[in-house]
Each structure stands twice: as C-alpha cells, then as structure tokens.
C-alpha cells in the first residue's frame, strides 16, 4: 500500500461540525438568495434584463438534485502552509422538486484510495490531485455525483466581512480560548503557535479578523470548546452575513457589490460560471430554508446518526496518522445512508 505523506496537523478525535468558517461564504452566496450577480451584469441598473433569459433549470442535476462540493483550503495570505489541505469538505444537495437542502459533512481524516493507487487522508487529495481528483474521491465516498465545486480560504472570509463593514453578532456565552492558532506560526515551537482570544457576552459588531476568531475557535472555555458550540457560532455568522448581504445598505452600493463579485471571481477556485450563479440565485428563491437537513459522518455517533466510521488503533498502515475508515470496509453503507437522506424516509 502506498500513501501520501502530508502534514495534516493530526488531532485527537473530533466530530466534524456541519459548517466551517471557510465554506460559509459560498453557502451564503449560492443558497441564501444573494443578489450580487443580479446587480452586476452588463447594465448594473437593469438587473431584470440579466436574468430573464436564465433559468434555474439550466443548472446541472441528477435525479432532481443539484450537488455542490464546498471545500475550505488552509492556504494563508502569506502562503505559510505549503500543502494546500482542504480541511473542510461539505456537500450541499439541493432538491429541484422538493426545494429542500441536505448538507453532508465529510471528516478531513477519512482515509481513501486515489484512482492512481495512492492512499491518503481525503483532505490531502486536492493538494496533490486538484479539483478533478477530489471530486472523484468524494463521489466514491458518498455515492452521489458532484455537479459543481468551490474552494475558498481564510483570507476571503475576512475580506467579505470587511467589505460589508462588519457583521452584527450576539455572543450568547462569554469565553476565552487560550490556544487559538496564530497565522504564520504553524512551524514555530509549540509555545509560540497560539494566542489568547476572549469574547464578552452580548451583541457586537465584528470585523473580518474578529469574526474569523469567533467561528474558528476550538478550545474555548464555558462550554464553547465543543464542535457543537462551534457549529452554533458559525451558523450565527452565516445568518449575520446573509442579513448584511441582503440589506439595502449593500444592495444599493455598487462599489461594495463590485468588490464582492471581484473577490468571488478572482479568489474562488470553482467551476461555477457567471450564468450558473444567476441560476443559483433563481433556484434560491424557490428553496425552503426551513427544510435544511444536516448529515455528519463520524466515529462516535450511533449508526443511524452517521456513526459509520471508526479510528483504527494500529495506524502503521496509515503512515502512523490518526485516520477514519468505514466500519464495513467499504463505502456501501455510507452510500445507502446518504441516499436515505436525500431521497428517502429521513428527508
């Protein structure tokens, strides 16, 4: 067995959150009715003329569903991380008939075989194989086709929030994280890798840097050190970004709209075209956001709740890394589980 030796900053067991900082922007852009594109075409003052000839039906689909693979890259502005790992992988499946949304989160430590015979964690595939290989890997795990993909990073998240003038967030629980990772210190001695960040309870306006800390923090006290708490914080930011994007203040400001679209066009690795975005905008008008189902694959939940993986104690075959592998030895059980959520009784 051959494997790719990539520094994935292995951690102890953790349950993947449904949302992650680095996919928030694309989730909001594609599925929350953001009208940036509608206000930006050839005639910024006539958005109706842009979309009249575009239909959501033009989007790719299979069996009545359009699936988008969203990936969060750990590439930093200073490129201090040399291997571009996608430590967040989220598949968003949108029903074209039921107008529902299913979010499927894949753990970064999932061990897979590539089409070339190499083995690695799934979060390393994009680094050595690009978008084509990661799409094939995800399709082999979930058993559903991938029609679109998008990769974003930390800097994009901060830039979007700063362009919006910050986001308003109500912090429910005050907390302190004594081990927040410092950008650019990934290879420094352990004592120099972290800083202390503190959030007071109550409503506040966060700039991009502060919001990144808020949603990325993993080691907070006062009950905020769990992935469940982190997911809740991330969902708060999603809602806040959506509100700010759709506010009159943003929609009547052509400078902000142009800056936001330029970010998307220049800094997102994606196969989603300008026309596709317009189709997603039209589709988002039909989606029932009360019908959003979250599916998380892990090694600690009950089998009927996504606990279809396990972490082998003997890691010699996996480069001595912490990995997750399917309990049944292949991905057939995961295929059936995913099918139940997007087509069957669990919808």
What pLDDT shows up at residue 345? 60
CB proximity list for 291: less than 8 A, separation 6 or greater: 98, 99, 100, 101
- Condensed to tens digits (0 to 9), the pLDDT of residues 281-296 reads 778 778 776 777 878 8
* pLDDT one-digit tens code per residue, 198-221: 999 999 999 999 998 998 888 999
The residue-averaged pLDDT of 295-302 equals 81
pLDDT tens digits, one per residue of 129-141: 788 888 999 999 9
Average pLDDT, whole number, for the chain?
76
Parallel, antiparallel or unpaired: strands 101-106 and 292-296 = parallel
Per-residue model confidence (pLDDT) at position 228: 67
Cα distances (angstroms) measured from residue 315 to each of 4, 285, 310, 312, 323: 14, 47, 12, 6, 8
The tokens describing 308, both together, are: 């279809």
CATH topology of domain 2-157+247-343: Nucleotidyltransferase; domain 5 (3.30.420)
Reported as a pLDDT band with limits 50, 70 and 90, residue 144 is: very high
pLDDT at 101: 86
Give per-residue pLDDT as tens, 146-183: 999 988 777 777 888 899 999 999 999 999 999 998 87
**What are the extents of the domains in the chain?**
2-157+247-343, 161-244
Question: Which percentage of the chain shows pLDDT scores above 70?
Answer: 77
What confidence tens digit (pLDDT) does each residue in 30-56 have? 433 333 333 333 233 333 333 344 566
pLDDT for 147 = 95
Average pLDDT over residues 255-264: 80
pLDDT of residue 21: 37
Separation of alpha carbons 86 and 8, rounded Å? 10
Higher pLDDT, 30 or 255: 255
Any idea which fold 161-244 has? Aminopeptidase (3.40.630)
86-95 vs 148-152, strand pairing mode: unpaired
State the number of CA atoms in the 13 A half-sphere of 55 facing the CB.
3
pLDDT of 28 above 60 = no
Q: What percent of the chain has pLDDT over 90?
A: 21
């Amino acid at each position: 067995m051959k494997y790719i030796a990539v520094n994935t900053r292995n951690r102890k067991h953790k349950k993947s959150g449904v949302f992650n900082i680095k996919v928030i922007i694309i989730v909001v852009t594609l599925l929350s009715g953001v009208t940036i594109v509608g206000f930006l075409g050839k005639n910024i003052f006539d958005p109706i003329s842009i979309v009249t000839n575009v239909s959501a039906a033009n989007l790719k689909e299979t069996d009545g569903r359009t699936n988008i693979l969203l990936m969060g890259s750990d590439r930093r502005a200073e490129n201090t991380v040399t291997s571009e790992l996608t430590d967040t992988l989220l598949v968003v499946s949108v029903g074209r008939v039921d107008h529902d949304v299913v979010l499927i989160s894949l753990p970064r430590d999932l061990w897979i075989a590539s089409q070339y015979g190499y083995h690695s964690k799934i979060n390393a595939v994009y680094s050595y194989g690009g978008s084509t290989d990661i799409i094939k890997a995800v399709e082999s795990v979930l058993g559903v086709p991938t029609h679109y993909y998008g990769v974003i990073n930390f800097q994009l998240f901060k830039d979007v929030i700063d362009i919006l003038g910050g986001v308003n967030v109500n912090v429910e629980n005050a907390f302190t994280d004594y081990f927040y990772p410092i950008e650019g210190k990934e290879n420094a001695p352990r004592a120099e890798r972290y800083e202390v960040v503190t959030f007071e309870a109550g409503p506040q306006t966060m700039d991009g840097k502060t919001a990144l800390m808020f949603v990325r923090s993993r080691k907070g006290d006062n009950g905020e050190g769990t992935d469940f708490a982190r997911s809740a914080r991330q969902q708060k930011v999603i809602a806040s970004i959506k509100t700010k994007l759709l506010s009159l203040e943003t929609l009547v400001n052509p400078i902000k709209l142009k800056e936001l679209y330029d970010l998307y066009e220049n800094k997102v690795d994606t196969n989603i075209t300008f026309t596709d975005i317009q189709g997603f905008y039209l589709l988002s008008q039909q989606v029932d956001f009360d019908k959003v189902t979250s599916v998380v694959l892990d090694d600690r939940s009950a089998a009927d709740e996504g606990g279809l993986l396990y972490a082998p104690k003997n890691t010699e075959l996996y480069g001595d890394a912490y990995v997750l592998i399917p309990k049944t030895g292949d991905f057939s059980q995961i295929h059936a589980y995913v099918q139940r959520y997007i087509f069957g009784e669990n919808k």
